[in-house]
Amino acid sequence: MDRRTFIQSLPCLGATMALPTFAFADGTRPKVSMETAGQTAKSTSMPEPRIGVIAVGGAGGTILSELYGRLPYLTHSTAIDIDEGALQRVAADRKILIDDSMVRPGDARAASLLAKDARTRIADAVTDLDIAFIVAGMGGIAGTAISPIVAEILRKNQVMTVAAAFTPVNSEGPRRHHIAVDGMLALGDIANATFRISNDVLCWHVCQRDLLLWASPATTTFERLYRGITEPIASSDYLLRHDSGSLRECMSNDGSSAIGYGCASGRNAAEDAARKAIAHPLLGEDRLNSASGVWVLIEGAPEFLKLRQIGEIKDLIREFLSVSTAVADVVFFYGGIRNKAMEVDFRVTILASGIPLG
Ligand SMILES: Nc1nc2c(ncn2[C@@H]2O[C@H](COP(=O)(O)OP(=O)(O)OP(=O)(O)O)[C@@H](O)[C@H]2O)c(=O)[nH]1
Ligand SMILES: [Mg+2]
């Protein structure tokens, strides 16, 4: 499905091409056991991680194209599809066309077998990475069938893999939804973390907010996920820097993962941004307090972001983790970065992993 067709199919959007972002919130409470702050001094000795984005199918290709040239620390991007026309339109460093001559509409298994034949080409394109992001829409053939195979190849090569799986809107029907669920389960078994990102939630709750923001919520969400993970690992400006070992420790392939993000300016901006991230419709208190790993990126304008604000935001988020009695040891990483180009005073991104599948 191309972006125009997809957007036109959304009940809440009509034919609008521009989809904005963001959230809102409130809440509080406690229980955490393992909390790890990174190094307080900037580390210059860490090797630069090799980071890749692999977009599979139509939705993945659209999101990658929108972000092409805008993702910091990216070593290279790869687009994979069975649709030659769609692949030609994608902006990516590398492209892999999987032969679809045997694929019938709706036959995800055939695509999966074909992709197995193309394993060598996929492996050649992606196994030089340390951290890989797979981005795909679930419910069609390409994204659903090929993403788990890509994840399997990455896993075999010990590449830390984070998947962003976009789920169909209700109006696309139950069949597509069931295919999507199977695809996410397959992906979830293999990738280090699989973020389930509901197109329904993006449509109904996110794009109805802040109409001044002229960006697709799916693209914005993937960008937040990408930056949320890469800034703490790759930026030399990050206060309390982490490494990919910390990420592996935090991201669990048990259950699913969820992202929340929020921004704010003015009085109480740090707290407001954190509360918006916690209550983001893709995250929410329930998911946050059942997560076994939580990873937080705090971005602030240089004049506002101090270690004190980082500490306050960390304490606020920690109160929510303590609510759960089910999770004995929450692995919690947090840190901040000063960003001169911020259009707001604070932005908080929360990645919660190991959420039991409900
Ligand atoms: N957020 C967002 N979701 C999309 C977009 N396009 C498609 N999707 C979602 O992703 C699901 C899969 O669609 P595609 O990615 O087009 O499918 P595909 O993986 O290319 O599969 P086939 O075309 O059947 O081979 C759809 O059911 C939609 O819910 C998009 O531009 N943005
Ligand atoms: Mg397609």
- Write the CATH number for 247: 3.30.1330.20
The domain boundary, picked from 183, 206, 229, lies at: 206
**Count of helix runs (H) and strand runs (E) in the chain:** 13, 11
Measuring from atom 4 of ligand 1, which residue has the nearest CA? 59
- Residue 60 CA: nearest ligand 1 atom is 15
Q: Structural domain of residue 314, as residue ranges?
A: 1-44+238-358
Structure token pair of residue 285: 């208190």
- My answer on whether 253 and 153 are in the same domain is no
Decide if 227 is inside a domain: no
What are the DSSP E strand ranges found in the chain? 34-37, 51-56, 74-81, 94-97, 131-137, 160-167, 193-198, 256-264, 293-300, 331-338, 346-355
Q: How far is it, in rounded angstroms, from Cα 54 to Cα 157? A: 15
Q: What is the pLDDT of residues 134-148, one digit of tens each?
A: 999 999 989 998 999
Residue of minimum CA distance from atom 26 in ligand 1: 168
220, part of any domain: no
- CB contact set of 31 (below 8 Å; sequence gap of 6+): 321, 322, 323, 324, 325, 327, 330
Q: Please check whether residue 357 lies inside any domain of the structure.
A: yes
Do 59 and 130 fall into the same domain? yes
| Residue 61 Cα: closest atom of ligand 1 | 15
State how far the alpha carbon of 173 is from the alpha carbons of 7, 139, 176, in Å.
Answer: 16, 10, 6
CB-CB neighbours of 75 under 10 Å = 16
Residue 224 lies in a domain: no
* Residue 56 sits in the same domain as residue 122: yes
Dist. CA 328–CA 248, nearest whole Å? 18
Helix, strand, coil shares of the chain as percentages rounded to 5? Answer: 40, 25, 40
User: How many angstroms separate the alpha carbon of residue 57 from the centre of ligand 1?
Assistant: 7
State residue 163's pLDDT score: 97
For the whole model, what pTM was predicted? 0.85
Ligand 1 neighbour 335 (Cβ under 6 A): no
- Nearest residue (by CA) to ligand 1, atom 29, is 168
Tell whether 248 is covered by a domain: yes
Q: What's the pLDDT tens digit per position in 317-327?
A: 988 886 655 55
Mutate to test the pocket of ligand 1, among 3, 5, 6 (most ligand atoms within 8 A of CB): 6
**Minimum-distance ligand to the CA of 61?**
1
Q: Is the CB of 137 under 6 A from ligand 1?
A: yes
CA of residue 118 to ligand 1 center, whole Å: 21
Is the minimum distance from the CB of 235 to ligand 1 under 6 angstroms? no
- Residues 23, 54 within the same domain: no
Total domains, the chain: 2
Closest ligand to the CA of 63 = 1
- State whether 273 and 152 are in the same domain: no
Q: Does residue 141 share a domain with residue 265?
A: no
Q: Is 58 in the pocket of ligand 1 (CB under 6 A)?
A: yes
Q: Are residues 37 and 52 in the same domain?
A: no
Nearest to 297 by CA among 237, 340, 356: 237
Neighbouring C-alpha atoms within 13 Å toward the C-beta of 169: 19
Measured in Å, residue 16 CA sits from the centre of ligand 2 at 21
One domain for residues 85 and 187: yes
**Geometric angle at alpha carbon 133, from 129 and 134, rounded to 5°:** 115
Q: Work out whether strand 256-264 and strand 346-355 pair parallel, antiparallel, or are unpaired.
A: antiparallel
134 lines ligand 1 (CB under 6 A): no
The answer to the question of residue 87 being in a domain is yes
Based on the fold, state whether residues 120 and 131 are members of the same structural domain: yes
Hey, is 308 helix, strand or coil? helix
Report every protein residue that has its C-beta within 5 angstroms of ion ligand 2: 57-58, 83, 142
For residue 96, give the CATH number of its domain.
3.40.50.1440
Are 78 and 131 contained in the same domain? yes
Q: Is 215 within the bounds of a domain?
A: no
Per-residue pLDDT in tens (0 to 9) along the chain, 358 residues? 554 454 444 443 322 222 222 222 222 222 333 344 433 334 445 678 899 999 999 999 999 999 999 999 999 999 999 999 999 999 999 999 987 665 655 566 666 676 667 888 999 999 899 999 999 999 998 999 899 989 999 999 999 999 999 999 888 899 999 999 988 998 998 999 999 999 888 877 665 554 444 458 899 999 999 999 999 888 877 666 667 778 888 887 678 999 999 999 998 999 999 999 999 999 999 999 889 899 999 999 888 888 888 889 999 998 888 665 555 678 888 888 888 888 899 999 999 999 988 7
